[in-house]
Amino acid sequence: MQIITEPGLMQAAVEKLRLNRQRIAVVMTMGALHEGHLSLVEKARSIAGTVIMTIFVNPKQFGPDEDFHRYPRPFEQDAAHAKAAGVDYLFAPSPEAVYPEGFQTTIHAGAIAEGFEGTKRPGHFNGVATVVTKLLQITKPHAAIFGEKDAQQLAVILRMVRDLNIDVDIVSSPVVREKSGLAVSSRNIYLSREQRESASVLFRGIRQAGMELEKKRTDLAAIAEEIRAMIEREPECRPDYVSFVDDRSFITAETAEPEREYRLLIAAWAGTVRLIDNRLFKT
Ligand code: PAF
């Protein structure tokens, strides 16, 4: 596995690969790799001959009161995991290499980015869209793999790629879960044992929603309210938002119509750790 830190060198390496007709897939991460990231690499390997992983903790997607400075950065460990997973190139630039002095152009994500995580984290998706665009320009992949765990991020990126005619296939990969059902996340390391146990309520909520929809209930707002109450009853947790949305527009759906796709979005706090989870349901 080759480690590259300079955008120009990464672009030169990719240029050669493309001349040799190599199919390239990229997995973008902020490091602190876990099983979820490794499943993205596996997916990338299944569709491309060359896999690039990027590790970059992007300052532009963190708010001033968020955990940018204490975000875990175990680089040596990450590099070992990436190598073992079969990554061919690890692109790990410094913030100065990505945002050199004078940098001033950003992508403004549209309406999909406004609710939910967008409301809670103003500017977050503009930061994501900007860095994803830059990383696509630097790694020039045929495909880019993103986890469904960050469903709103995935929707923003899909929309952006379509809107800006970016020539790349965006491939999604399912949420990876711990035994308890808790979605794996780099931030899970901040959870105490009790909080971790309680946090599985997000997954229990998703399962409960599935059972209610199987009964052909159409009152999505009421189901979401029941899940919210379920999270409220959990000692270590408090809900942030629970809502069904139309999967394309990310607009809240109150009532289900037949033959449609709705995504249940859940965000909740376990202590000071904010967790998100989601599932797509078909009616
Ligand atoms: O999902 C993430 O880890 C980040 O938002 C991403 C896509 C790597 C952009 O910084």
pLDDT at residue 176 in the model? 97
Establish if 178 belongs to a structural domain.
no
193 and 71, same domain (yes or no): no
CA distance 134 to 98: 8
**pLDDT less than 50: residues of the chain:** none
Q: What is the pTM of this model?
A: 0.95
Number of domains in the chain: 2
Q: Is the CB of 173 under 6 A from ligand 1?
A: no
Establish if 179 belongs to a structural domain.
no
Q: What is the position in ligand 1's atom list of the atom closest to the CA of 61? A: 10
Establish if 82 belongs to a structural domain.
yes
Last residue within a domain, chosen from 147, 173, 199: 173
Last residue within a domain, chosen from 114, 146, 173: 173
Last residue within a domain, chosen from 149, 173, 197: 173
Q: Are the C-beta atoms of 160 and 166 separated by less than 8 Å?
A: yes
Q: Is the CB of 30 under 6 A from ligand 1?
A: yes
153 and 53, same domain (yes or no): yes
List the catalytic residue out of 34, 37, 69, 81. 37
31 and 123, same domain (yes or no): yes
The residue range of the domain holding 96 is 2-173
Q: Under 8 Å CB-to-CB from 195, ≥6 apart: which residues?
A: 236, 237, 270, 271, 273
Question: 3-class SS at 274?
Answer: strand
CA distance 22 to 44: 13
Q: Is the alpha carbon torsion for 93, 95, 98, 100 positive or negative?
A: negative
| Nearest-CA residue for atom 8 of ligand 1 | 29
The 10s digit of each residue's pLDDT in 23-66 is 999 999 999 999 999 999 999 999 999 999 999 999 999 999 89
The 10s digit of each residue's pLDDT in 123-153 is 999 999 999 999 999 999 999 999 999 999 9
pLDDT at residue 67 in the model? 87
Q: Write out the E strands in 5-157.
A: 24-29, 50-55, 89-91, 143-147
